[in-house]
């Protein structure tokens, strides 16, 4: 080792800001397929397509010989599985999970799918979202004898499910779902080769149904269906349970809320641009964010550029609407891995450029507009703006393709306290100054909602991280006003 360098192999949470990009992280990608001879391999590719939703751990569970076998590991999908693992996971029905933790620690025992055995039967579950009443339910279940193996809220569902089996299989699903509060999309696998998809009564997280030859597929996003060449059938409705078995697909509609709360931030940041979620293509929606941003907050400049990859599609829209040329003013190194040499304090400046390096000849002496999709802590943006100034960029205008994040998310996204959110601490003018910008503007909430094209967006989207109006109570202190307004 060279003096002044420290080699670090770390999990994602310990990476410095310039590598993590100071971005929020999602809480998981789900995939499931019923009765296909290549179930595990298709799950592998499905999870590969959903890797953007979770990079901490990955797992696949397969039904075989009236039992369930699984393989899980920490890291990215290709790090966790090799061909030998996939060959060993033979079986016709499988579910898979790519995880980023928002509850529970980032440790192997919390990797999903969770598998449990109960009265000669086995079940596996994978979860995307966050159960706001998990603590309460866990206390109740432990009081009546349940022993939890993990610190994950998702395990609560399985305990409820097996306790409710006295109501029969379908009854157990319905009764369990009725007890859960918060955001949840689940895929469940039984040792009888059934695959079940469940969406919460509000429909926070995406989950869709597809068909591949004679087999049915469930996936968090349509990009996973595309990769395995499955045909998109439809998204699950809020409160819907879909059961796939040897007879095909049947569904149960549990009581849905009187309104929907699709997570609007899926459009801005989480979902892959080639996916269609909540009935809208993500790429086109992001371009529309950029167009609206250009209408709401125009400014003269020589070029429009994103901090790649976030902001790229909105920057295209901003450029088209304003007529200002789009350029890739910063080049991303796509090969930055999870192992790196941490530069010493005196060498921090080049650390900033490890992931994104400005194109000097393009930017020097120019007035530029940067499009970013969100500012969470602000540290990365500040560092990058400073680097651009030092390069000789004349004016730096920042436009953000969503409203300011002023409130934490309690439904499965990892900004959980207001202290972490720079827009909750500073006014726009203060933030502009803090980030070293010539101007700063955000897309309005009205503009964001209008971009969805939904007639009554107030009753179709969660936007609590922008307006603090939480659609599902997460504690007793929550203002009832927000809930009653819905
Ligand atoms: S609070 Fe924000 S990030 Fe969380 S579910 Fe609602 S819109 Fe999505």
Question: How confident is the model over 169-185, as pLDDT tens digits?
Answer: 999 999 999 999 999 99
CB atoms within 10 A of CB 142: 12
- Show the domain range for 434: 280-452
CATH number at 343 reads 3.40.50.2020
DSSP string, 201-254: TT--S--EEEEETTEEEEESSHHHHHHTTPEEEEEPPTTEEEEEETTEEEEEEP
pLDDT band at residue 459 under the 50/70/90 scheme? confident
273: in domain: no
Ligand 1 mean position to 470 CA, how many Å?
9
- For the chain, what is the domain count? 2
Q: What is the pLDDT of residue 1?
A: 30
- Please determine, for residue 49, whether its predicted confidence score (pLDDT) is greater than 90: yes
Is there an atom of ligand 1 within 6 Å of 363 CB? no
Of residues 28, 34, 191, 465, which has the active-site annotation? 28
pLDDT band at residue 9 under the 50/70/90 scheme? very low
Region 15-19: mean pLDDT is: 43
Region 421-436: mean pLDDT is: 96
| Same-domain status, 182 and 293 | no
Q: What is the pLDDT of residue 154?
A: 81
480: in domain: no
What is the C-alpha separation between 154 and 346, in angstroms, rounded?
44
Ligand 1 mean position to 284 CA, how many Å?
20
Is there an atom of ligand 1 within 6 Å of 324 CB? no
Q: How much is the mean pLDDT over the chain?
A: 88
What residue's CA is closest to ligand 1, atom 2?
465
Higher confidence at residue 19 or residue 433? Answer: 433
Sheet holding 114-118, edge to edge: 114-118, 121-131, 182-190, 195-199, 240-245, 248-253
Percent helix, percent strand, percent coil in the chain, to nearest 5: 35, 25, 40
DSSP label at 346?
A: G
What residue's CA is closest to ligand 1, atom 4?
409
| Same-domain status, 320 and 434 | yes
| Same-domain status, 245 and 290 | no
Ligand 1 mean position to 335 CA, how many Å?
30
| Same-domain status, 301 and 390 | yes
Ligand 1 mean position to 55 CA, how many Å?
20
Note the pLDDT tens digit of each residue in 57-93.
999 999 999 999 999 999 999 999 999 999 999 999 9
pTM, entire model: 0.89
Beta bridge partners of 250: 243
Q: 263 an active-site residue?
A: no
| Same-domain status, 130 and 231 | yes
What is the C-alpha separation between 237 and 206, in angstroms, rounded?
9
What is the C-alpha separation between 327 and 318, in angstroms, rounded?
12
Is there an atom of ligand 1 within 6 Å of 152 CB? no
| Same-domain status, 259 and 286 | no
Is there an atom of ligand 1 within 6 Å of 368 CB? no
Q: What is the pLDDT of residue 18?
A: 41
- Please determine, for residue 23, whether its predicted confidence score (pLDDT) is greater than 80: no
Note the pLDDT tens digit of each residue in 290-340.
999 999 999 999 999 999 888 999 999 999 999 999 999 999 887 765 445
Is there an atom of ligand 1 within 6 Å of 204 CB? yes
What is the C-alpha separation between 478 and 486, in angstroms, rounded?
14
pLDDT band at residue 149 under the 50/70/90 scheme? confident
| Same-domain status, 146 and 29 | yes
Name the residue of 130, 268, 407, 409 whose CB sits within 8 Å of the most ligand 1 atoms, as the mutation to test its pocket: 409
Note the pLDDT tens digit of each residue in 363-420.
999 999 999 999 998 988 998 999 999 999 999 999 999 999 999 998 988 776 888 8
What residue's CA is closest to ligand 1, atom 6?
462
CATH number at 212 reads 3.60.20.10
Is there an atom of ligand 1 within 6 Å of 376 CB? no
- Please determine, for residue 5, whether its predicted confidence score (pLDDT) is greater than 90: no
What is the C-alpha separation between 145 and 142, in angstroms, rounded?
5
């Amino acid at each position: 080792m060279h003096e002044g360098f420290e080699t670090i192999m770390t999990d994602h949470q310990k990476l410095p800001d310039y590598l993590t990009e100071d971005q929020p992280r999602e809480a998981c990608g789900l995939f499931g397929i019923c009765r296909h001879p290549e179930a595990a391999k298709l799950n592998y590719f499905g999870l590969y397509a959903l890797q953007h939703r979770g990079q901490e751990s990955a797992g696949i569970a397969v039904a075989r010989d009236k039992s369930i076998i699984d393989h899980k590991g920490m890291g990215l999908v290709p790090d966790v599985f090799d061909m030998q693992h996939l060959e060993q996971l033979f079986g016709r029905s499988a579910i898979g999970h790519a995880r980023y933790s928002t509850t529970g620690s980032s440790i192997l025992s919390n990797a999903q799918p969770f598998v449990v055995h109960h009265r000669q039967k086995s079940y596996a579950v994978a979860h995307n979202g966050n159960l706001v009443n998990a603590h309460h339910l866990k206390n109740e279940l432990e009081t009546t004898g349940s022993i939890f193996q993990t610190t994950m809220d998702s395990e609560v569902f399985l305990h409820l499910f097996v306790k409710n089996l006295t109501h029969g299989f379908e009854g157990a699903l319905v009764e369990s779902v009725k007890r859960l509060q918060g955001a949840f999309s689940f895929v469940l696998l039984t040792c009888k080769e059934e695959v079940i998809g469940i969406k919460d009564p509000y429909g926070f997280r995406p989950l869709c149904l597809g068909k591949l030859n004679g087999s049915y597929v469930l996936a968090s996003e349509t990009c996973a269906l595309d990769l395995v060449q499955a045909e998109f059938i439809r998204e699950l409705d809020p409160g819907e349970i879909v059961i796939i078995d040897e007879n095909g697909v049947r569904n149960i509609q549990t009581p849905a809320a009187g309104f929907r709360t699709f997570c609007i931030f899926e459009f801005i940041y989480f979902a892959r641009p080639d996916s269609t979620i909540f009935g809208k293509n993500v790429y086109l929606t992001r371009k529309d964010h950029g167009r609206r941003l250009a209408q709401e907050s125009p400014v003269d400049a020589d070029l429009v550029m994103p901090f790649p990859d976030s902001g790229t599609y909105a920057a295209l829209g901003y450029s088209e609407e304003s007529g200002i040329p789009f350029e890739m003013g910063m080049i991303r190194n796509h090969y930055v891995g999870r192992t790196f040499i941490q530069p010493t304090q005196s060498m921090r400046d080049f650390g900033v450029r490890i992931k994104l390096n400005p194109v000097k000849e393009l930017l020097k002496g120019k007035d530029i507009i940067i499009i970013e999709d969100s500012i969470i802590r602000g540290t990365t943006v500040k560092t990058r703006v400073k680097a651009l100034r030092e390069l000789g960029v004349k004016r730096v205008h920042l436009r953000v393709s969503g409203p300011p994040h002023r409130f934490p998310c309690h439904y499965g996204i990892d900004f959980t306290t207001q202290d972490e959110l720079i827009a909750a601490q500073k006014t726009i003018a203060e933030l502009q100054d803090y980030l070293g910008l010539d101007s700063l503007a955000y897309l309005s909430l009205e503009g964001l909602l209008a971009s969805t094209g939904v007639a009554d967006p107030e009753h179709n989207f969660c936007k609590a991280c922008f307006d603090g109006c939480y659609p599902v109570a997460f504690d007793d202190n929550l203002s009832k006003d927000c809930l009653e307004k819905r």
